[in-house]
Every structure is written in C-alpha cells, then in structure tokens.
Structure 1
Amino acid sequence: MSRFSAIWVSAAFFLPVTMVSAEKPADKEIVVTGASLADTERTLKNCLAGNCSPDADVRAAIAHAENQFVAGEYRDAKTTLKKAIGRNGKYRNQFPVELSYLYRASSRIAEHLGETDEYRLRLLDMRDTLRSNFPADDARVLSAQLEIADSRVKLGYPDNALDIYADVEKAAIAAGQNQIATLAKLRANLLIYAIGENERYQPDMKRARAALAEMVKRPLPGSDDFSLIAEVALARIDRREGRGDSTDAIMRRVLSRGVDRPILLSADPIDVPKSAYGERTNSGQSLLLNVGPRRIEGESMPAPQNVLTQIPRNFEDRWMDVGFWVTADGRVDDVEVLRTEGSGDWMKIVINSIQSRQYAPIRNKDGATHPGFYMIERYTYTARYMEDITGSRIPRRSTQARIERLDLTPENFDQPFANRPKTNRQTAS
C-alpha cells in the first residue's frame, strides 16, 4: 500500500532508486541528504559521453530529472526526460520496464505542469510499452491499466474509468492476481460512491457500500491486507454520514495488531475556490475522489462571456514542500513549510488539511510505543492547459486552479528516529 494515500493506491512517481534518506544528526535537526543536482547532472553527462547502455541512460536521466523536480526546475526536468525518450524510445522492446519508468516519470511532471495531453499520452506510452512486451495478464500490464483508469477519473471521464476497472478486475481474477483484482474493485466502488454522492443518487451509494462491505467480510485469497483499506473507506463513509463508531473500531483493531506505516483515516478536503467556469477541481466535495462533471471525448467547454474571466492567473513556479510528524497516536504534529517558490496565497488551505489528518495509531509489533514517522510532501499550484478554453485551438491555461500532491518522504521512513527530534530546518547536500 502506497504511503502516498491509504485509499487511493498510486504507482511510484519515479524509478524506485533511493534519492534521499533521513538521518538523525547530533543537533537533532532533520537533514535530508542525497546526490546533489550537480552530481546527477555529472553522472548523466558521463553516461552519455561513455555511450552507456540504454537502461543505464534511463536510470541516470530519471535520477537527474527527479533532482530537478525536487529543486523546483519542472521544465528542465521535463526536458531531461524528453531527451531521454528521444534517445531510448527505439529500445522499448529490449528494455520495456525501464522505458515504462521513463514514460511514467514524464507523465507525473506533465501533471504538475498542467499539461493535460502530455500527461495522458505519456501514461498511454507507459501502458503500451508494457502491453506489447508482456502477456495481457502480467501484473505490470494490469497495474498500468489501473493507472490509465486513474487518469481517466482525473481528466473527467469516470464512466470510462469504471469500464477499465471492471476489465482489470476480471482479467486479474482469471490470472490469479487477487491483489490487483481487489485494488480494481476497491477503486471502482470508491468512484461509484463518489459519483452517487455528487449526483445525490442513493442507489449508487448503497451499491458501493455493499460491495465494500463484502470485500471486508470475504476478501479474495491472498488479499486480506487490502480488506483494511476497504474498511477504512467504509469508516470514511460512516463519518460522512454522521457515524463514528466504525472509525473507533478500526483504530482499536489496528492499535492491537500494530502497523509499520501511516494509514490515513480522515482529513479535511483541500478546498480550491471555484473558477469562472463554475468548476470545483480538487475541492474534496466528494468522499474520496475529485469527481467533476462527466465529459464526452472531444467535447468543448463553452468559453465564458466575460473576457476577463478568460485570463488565467500565474501558475508558473508555485510550489511548496511541507514536513510533518505522524505521532504514535496517529495525529499530525510540527507541520512546517520547508521550502517554497512563488506567491503563497494558496498554501494555508493545504496546511489546514494536513493538520486535520487522523492516521491509525502506530505501534511496533512487539507492543512498544512507536516514535512516529516524519513525512515530506510536495504541493504544486497549477492549472491545466486546454485548447477549448477560449473557443479556439490554441492551448491556454484554465482559470481553474489545481493543487497537485507528490510524496517526497524518504524511502527509509519506516525506520524512524529513536527519539523524535524537533524539526527546524531542512538542508540538501
């Protein structure tokens, strides 16, 4: 289960190479260390100068792009990956997994830049690269299909996403990939509930509730751990409907058996104001997903009548890194903005949401009290480029702001400090 979200299980952003690690220095300050931007740039240049193999090239390019992204150099990161794709795209049949990482990384950066088409196309490249080199029921192909479905939700095509989830669930069950089947069913029913909630359609909400309850009661063989995710989802639904008993029961059960990573139980939404179009993206109005109005492929959005509403705000270079502790009792403590770029008028709504989070209480499996986890998350204030924003084919920024999130927590977050230090700075070597 990804630490990015306890419910919406997301694929890794970059190639799984440890970039940073958390250490406990003598002064008890948090110091994030890793290869510097200059180091990864040098490594990539040396690789290319020495005619390194395509897989080595891809690894070096992704590592450097990741560092550029963390440094806030989004467009430089995009360029690094675009050049790597140009050099290595022809090797997709020899190194399909490595190329899939490259396409996935490119899609994630495009997402934070608001480049909708690039985000969509790179995910399709990732999926197609895997699908053309592995059997249709391979776990990597099925997982890639889940990512495609997730992207369809984000882009406003939930019906298409539901079809994909259903196909993945069916294929995964036939292949004995029960965990992937469970994830597909879980996401589908969370989406069904969210749609029902948005449209105030009780039959959908009841159907999703019943399916989640069945997953808790009778999980597929080998997917017992995922039943907890469904149970957390049901608890969120209960709280949404004014009942808190199920959340208390989950907290008692998790506390008694012990967990080794944060499991998010609840959080207030990040409530982005409406745009001139009347949209409300990333508002959290739905239970678990940001489900906007259904769209039809190729459908144009009518341009607003007032030309002033067509002028987007500045969405370039606006991001922040937030660090915080998840304590042993599951509460959030010491929330701190570590780094920022650009105007920060949007940051307060993010901080409020983080401070409201309740995680499952954390215990070591031997019953000892756990010291907690230190988490770092990147938030980007952006807006999508859209061709139909002014009634023309010229891509322009939407006036609707979005806040994209990415987990930057060190890979060894599940090896916490013996004594929880007070955080007062972050440095990068």
Structure 2
Amino acid sequence: MSLFLLLLAQASGEIVVTGKRLEEAHQQCVRGGCTPLRDAQASIALAEARFRTGKYLDAKSVLAGAISRNKGKAESDPKPVAAIYEAYATVALHEGNQDDYRRAVASQVHVLKDNLPPDDPAVLAATTALGDMWVKTGTAMRAEAAYRASEDAALKSGNDRAAMLAGMKRVWLLTATDRPKDARAKLDELDRRTLAQQPGYATALRVLRLRIAAKDAEGENLDRLIRSLGQGQDEAPVLLKAPPYELDAAAQLQEARGRARSYLGSSAAFGSRADADVDPDPYRSSDLDAIQWADVGFWIRPDGTTADAEVLRQSSGNPWTDLVLRQIAQRRYSARAAGSGDDGQGYYKVERLTRRSKYVVPTNSLISRRVAVGGFETLDLTEEADQAERASR
C-alpha cells in the first residue's frame, strides 16, 4: 500500500475533506503549527484534491512547501517525510518533470533506508522504488540493474520478503521487455523459495505466470487462462492482457525522431559525415504543450472483458481520448464470480490518464519547456480510494 495513502487514511475528519476546512488545516501547517505527520496529512490531502481537478502545478507547489518545512525532520519522523516525497514524485511524473520525479524518489528511498530498520514495512515497500523509477522514465537496463541489486542485498541480509518483491519485479520487467524465457526461468527460481508457499506470495507468483502465458494467448486459450484465476468478491480483477496504445501525433513524432537518431548514429559508425549528436528534428523555442489529462471509467465484467468505457472528466482540448477508449475495450482481466447484488455488472474502475511529457531546453533557448512525447501516465483512482477506505476501518 502506498505510504502517502496510509497517512491520508490516518488523518482525522478535519483534514480529509475538501474546501475551506482543508485549506485552513493546511494554512495552520504553513504557519508552523503542525507536527510532521499532521503536515504530511494536510498537505497531501490538499495536493490530492488539486491533482484530481487537473491543477498539477498547484499540487506540486503545496508538496514542495511541505518538503521545505519537514526535510530536516527525517531522522525523527521518516515516514511522514518520505510520504511527502512520494506524493511529490507522483505529481511530478504526471506533470512531466522527470528530473523532479527522480530526485523525489531518491529522497524518499534515502529517508526510509537511513532512518528505519531494514525489515520495516515502509522500507520493504521502498526496496524496488528506484527500479520502478527507471521503468517509468524508460530506462529498462537501469531498472533491471536496480531490481537485481535490491534482490541481492535483501538475500544477503536475510530479508526474504524484500528479495521476493524485487524478484517478482524482475519477472514483470523481463516479460514487458519480451524476454519470456528469462522471465519463466526467474519465476521458476522464485517458486522454489520457501516464501513462495505462503498464500499471498503463491497467488502473486501465479498471477505473474498467467500474465506471461496470456501475452501470447488468444481466443479460447486466453479465455481459459482468465477463468483459471478467480477473484474474491472484494478484490479488484487483475489485468492479464492489454494491447499497446495507438500512437497519437506526439508519439508518432517521437518515434520518427528516434528512428532518425538511430540512422545518424549508424551512419557515423560507418564513417559518414553525419553527426550522430545532432537532433534531426530539434525542439523549437515556440514548442510548449499544456498538461492534458482525463478520468476514464469502465466496467470489468465477471468474465474479464470490459464494457461501457467513458470519459468522466478531462482537461480541455484532448485529441487522444478515443485512443484510450479503444485500448480499454481490448483489455482482458481475471475472471471473478458475479456478486448477488451487482446484476452481473462486475467491478467499476476509474483511471486517471495524463499525456506523457518531459521538459527540454529547445535550440537557441535557455528556458526549459514541457513537450509531449506520447503515451500516458496512469493512476488507478479506484484502487487508491479503496485502499484508503480499508486502512481507515
């Protein structure tokens, strides 16, 4: 469970509200009248409210202020301080500032590892955070190296749970990078560990194996795999298969830039005059993209198919929502028994999708600008709400 969600769940009713009382609670912390825990709760709650309405920069500002007030208190209050960094990292990733995202994740990990015992649940959860960060920023080799280092360190220290988590992340990454043979070999190794016999880990490993198999399955074979993983009535279905998103205009341009750079690099290797370091289509000082986001809701039927995907709310001028709706229509989730009171509807899910972007300094400019690069950052709003509600019971 996310550390910052746990803090939100622990907050009193005077904090976890939107509107005037939430602003007042946050202002009290700005004036220095809060403990680090209360500051984290109030600041994250306010930032989360602003994030949901698409005010990403406002959310970052709230969290940056909380970091400034509390970064010197990491030794006495590591979990609240780490939670603020984690929330800031999430917003920075969606806003497109990868440098801020990387720094926040690194700070979160250091705060926890430097100030808590190695077997603390928060440290376990942060074990793979650096690898996750490299995955999000599109650096698979660094991600695999980070996961491997985390797993090796955990095994050396006898921390079986952290080692299993890092190992499962390696399986997922090997599958995502089209190395199914290596993924299965690693999964077989994990299955032989004593911890794999515990119900929770056994289920997680089974899901991984099914996802590897589902990657190449179609038709009746895919249906059989999906039915084989039943879900409890209160559990969210597990995504087993999803096609890639179609390329929007930004993604097409990014792909063309990549092909051109690859060609120039190959030409330079064979002695051509082409300069491999020259961007074939440089960003201009006039290039500037706004933050674009959408909240999409859809049903996951008991048989694992999706239905009735729709845009619930969004920023203005989004040209890509049809691509998202088509992708969701082709997803397949694990099957589950229909509940007595849901009329076979299944599980309703809401996802926040933000068009992926990054900051660059264009040619002949000194000012960093946000530009779209294609693809989407995704946040499961349904899962976050469910986790916070369960933690508060």
Q: Same fold by TM-score, threshold 0.5 exceeded?
A: yes
**Mapped pair 1:355 → 2:329:** yes
Q: Which amino acid aligns with 1:400?
A: V
Matched, 1:330 2:312: no
Q: CA deviation at 1:63?
A: 0.7
Q: Whose RCO is larger (CA < 8 A, sep 6+)?
A: 1
Shift of residue 384 of structure 1? 0.7
Pairing 1:395–2:373 present: no
Conservation of the 8 A alpha-carbon contact between 2:43 and 2:63: yes
Shift of the alpha carbon at 1:133?
Answer: 0.4
CA contact (8 A) 2:302 2:346 kept: yes
The alignment status of 1:17 with 2:8, answered yes or no, reads yes
**Alpha-carbon distance between aligned partners in 2 of 1:321 and 1:127, rounded to the nearest angstrom:** 29
Structure 2 counterpart of 1:405: 378
> Is residue 235–residue 244 contact of structure 1 (8 Å, CA) maintained in 2?
no
Deviation at 1:17, TM superposition (A): 2.3
1:248-276 Cα offsets, whole Å, 9 max, x none, are 44433333977722111212222333224
1:88 partner letter = N
Selected match of 2:253 from 265, 275, 283: 275
Q: 1:171 aligns with which of 136, 145, 153?
A: 153
- The answer to whether the 8 Å contact 2:50/2:56 transfers is yes
CA contact (8 A) 1:382 1:402 kept: yes
Alignment-mate amino acid for residue 111 of structure 1:
L
Task: Map 1:7-406 onto structure 2 (within 5 A).
Answer: 11=2, 14-18=5-9, 35-49=17-31, 51-174=33-156, 177-195=159-177, 197=178, 204-215=179-190, 220-221=195-196, 223-242=198-217, 247-255=222-230, 260-272=235-247, 273-276=251-254, 278=256, 302-307=277-282, 310=284, 314-363=288-337, 372-387=346-361, 390=363, 394-398=367-371, 400-406=373-379
Deviation at 1:155, TM superposition (A): 2.3
**2:267 equivalent in structure 1:** none
| C-alpha contact 1:277 1:304 (8 A) present in aligned 2 | no
* Residues 1:49 and 1:258: Cα distance change in structure 2 (over 3 Å): closer
Aligned partners of 2:196, 2:202: CA distance in 1, in Å? 11
Aligned to 2:263: none
- Counterpart Cα distance in 2 of 1:227 and 1:303: 50
Letter in 1 for 2:64: K
- Unpaired segments ≥5 residues, structure 2: 11-15, 259-275, 388-393
Return 150-159 or 59-68, whichever deviates more.
150-159
User: Is the Cα–Cα contact under 8 Å of residues 105 and 129 in structure 2 kept in the other structure?
Assistant: yes
- Equivalent residues of 2:88, 2:101 under 8 A apart: yes
From the superposition, tell whether residues 211 and 248 of structure 1 become closer, same or farther in structure 2 (CA, over 3 Å): farther
Cα gap change, 1:221/1:229 in structure 2, threshold over 3 Å: closer, same or farther? closer
For structure 1, which runs of at least 5 residues remain unmatched after alignment? 3-10, 20-33, 198-203, 281-300, 415-429
Instruction: Report if aligned partners of 2:338, 2:346 keep a CA contact under 8 Å in 1.
Output: no
Q: CA deviation at 1:365?
A: 9.9
1 or 2, which has the higher helix percentage? 2
- Report the Cα offset of residue 46 of structure 1: 3.6
CA–CA distance in structure 2, aligned partners of residues 12 and 97 of structure 1: 8
Q: Could you tell me how far 1:106 is from its partner in structure 2?
A: 0.5
**2: CA distance between counterparts of 1:254 and 1:372?**
15
How many residue pairs are counted as aligned between the two chains? 364
Give the alignment's Cα RMSD to 1 decimal.
Answer: 3.5
- Does the 8 Å CA contact 1:145/1:164 hold for their aligned counterparts? no
Distance 1:356 1:36 in 2: 36
- Alpha-carbon distance in structure 1 between the residues aligned to 2:184 and 2:221: 13
The alpha carbon displacement at 1:312 in A equals 7.5
Q: Distance in 2 between matches of 1:94 and 1:278?
A: 50
Contact 1:165 1:187 (8 Å CA) reproduced: yes
- CA offsets 1:183-202 (integer angstroms, 9 cap, x no match): 2112213323444x3xxxxx
**CA distance change for structure 1 residues 258 and 214 in 2, over 3 Å: closer, same or farther?**
farther
Tell me if the contact between 1:40 and 1:67 (Cα under 8 Å) persists in the aligned partners. Answer: no
CA distance in 2, matches of 1:396, 1:236: 38
Determine if contact 2:82/2:111 at 8 Å carries over to the other structure. Answer: yes
- Aligned counterparts of 1:384 and 1:243: Cα–Cα separation in 2: 36
TM (normalized to structure 1)?
A: 0.73
Q: Distance in 2 between matches of 1:130 and 1:342?
A: 39
Give 1:104 deviation, angstroms.
Answer: 0.5
- Quote the Cα distance in structure 2 between the aligned partners of 1:103 and 1:405: 19
SS at structure 2 position matched to 1:44: helix
Residue identity matched to 1:267: A
Contact map agreement 1:74 1:109 (CA 8 A) in 2:
yes
Q: 1:399 and 1:49, CA in 2 relative to 1: closer, same or farther beyond 3 A? A: closer
Partner AA of 2:252 in structure 1: K
